[in-house]
Copies of this chain bind each other. A is one copy, B any other.
């Protein structure tokens, strides 16, 4: 009987556990999963939509309840248990029971480290004032919802950080009727796309009534009667009854470091293609706590995203279960909805491509998601980066109003397969008036890129 212990029972950990179970039955493999929080396998990406009221119930976000794992997968899930130590020599983990108290020790033959990520909290965010929230876990989300529904009812929200979570949360809070200020240190919110695309996002946020403050750094918080009162910035104070932190996350590796697991330059755990922790026998890692390889630059990156966590967990689980699978790396595809805009990207932004050493041309085309004459045709903007000389697609970004975001997928697959923009002009994509102009926006962009390359 082999014993598998899983540290962290969210997407990556439970994908690994359930996939391992598919490979090895209960007579061959015993599985114990420790989870600090109250939930298993939930959609952290869905939290802003639950806060905003688009998704009605918190339970909707839970993909699989602990009972399902226990009953169907025969996984011994222990919620509210925080793993405090991993002893690689004795092959043991130590976990604290956060509710019952006390400590348990569990032997393992195989270990999956899937502790996820923790919010980047600047020193000023360490406050005893109530009303300051991250939205990293479903427990975080629950606390925020309770605060928003509590008395006195918060009216003014400040969201710090203009990335995906910050922007989604700003929209969620304005949907709930709060007045919302979004503070971003950089020149534009949504710096996951190039500034010339991000400006479209900014316009949409402003159009929704969100007060967007860019180039502004937060330096502190003030409190009154134990509740947050304002956010202090280098451009003045912003009154706030609730503060949401969207400053990004970093790999949760404190425990891993103490155990001696190798951590890479991104702060994520170093794993091989099979999601085995580098140089440590029988120990695997997956999800937001690991670093992975960007297929275009060959560099290590930390890209915490549910879709990668699930894939990586599955790969680890297949390997633990006696099969063979590898995780092939990422190319930085991401989509998001911002107000009435759809924003998508894959591959490298201009700054990434430059940093990686590429020379490239960029093109940007305005087209429509349907034939221009078809009812409901909405504008969409497609931007491409292509390497000089080779013409290889390096990156793509899309901003549109409807049926636009997932248009990034064919571009992602083209990029994955190292297509040149010249090759892309011949692609056989779906055409019918309700779905695309006769020249698909993706193909128009590829044609323009070919022309730009020919001009040097």
Contact = CB atoms under 8 A, between A and B. Distances in A.
Central interface residue in A333, A375, A431, by most chain B CB within 10 Å:
A431
Interface in A410-443: 410, 412-414, 416-417, 419, 423, 425-436, 438-440, 442-443
A158 to B, nearest CB: 24
A373 B429 contact: no
Given A45-B433, A414-B413, A434-B337, A428 B331 contact: yes
A335 interface: yes
A438 B306 contact: yes
A305 interface: yes
Interface in A380-430: 403, 405-410, 412-414, 416-417, 419, 423, 425-430
Contacts of A305: 431
Interface stretch (A54-62, A65-73, A224-232, A244-252): A54-62
Contact of A406 (B310, B417, B430): B430
Given A305-B431, A337-B434, A434-B337, A426 B43 contact: no
A428 B46 contact: no
B375 A54 contact: yes
Contacts of A306: 431, 438
Contacts of A61: 373
A428 B45 contact: no
Contacts of A344: 430
A334 interface: yes
A345 to B, nearest CB: 9
Max chain B Cβ within 10 angstroms of own Cβ: one of A45, A326, A409 = A409
Q: How many copies does the complex hold?
A: 2
Contacts of A308: 428
A66 B426 CA distance: 27
A408 B430 contact: yes
Contact of A429 (B342, B412, B428, B442): B412
A4 to B, nearest CB: 21
A147 interface: no
Contact of A307 (B60, B429, B434): B429
A346 interface: yes
A332 to B, nearest CB: 7
Given A337-B434, A374-B55, A407 B405 contact: no
Contacts of A408: 430
Given A335-B435, A432-B45, A417 B426 contact: no
A216 to B, nearest CB: 27
Interface in A3-60: 11, 43, 45-46, 49, 54-55, 60
9 contacts: A43-B438, A45-B431, A45-B438, A49-B433, A307-B429, A326-B426, A346-B428, A413-B413, A413-B429
Report the 9 A-B pairs with minimum CB-CB distance, sorted nearest first: A335-B430, A60-B373, A417-B417, A409-B410, A307-B431, A413-B413, A328-B426, A337-B434, A333-B428
Interface of A: 11, 43, 45-46, 49, 54-55, 60-61, 63, 305-308, 310-311, 326-328, 330-337, 342, 344, 346, 371, 373-375, 403, 405-410, 412-414, 416-417, 419, 423, 425-436, 438-440, 442-443
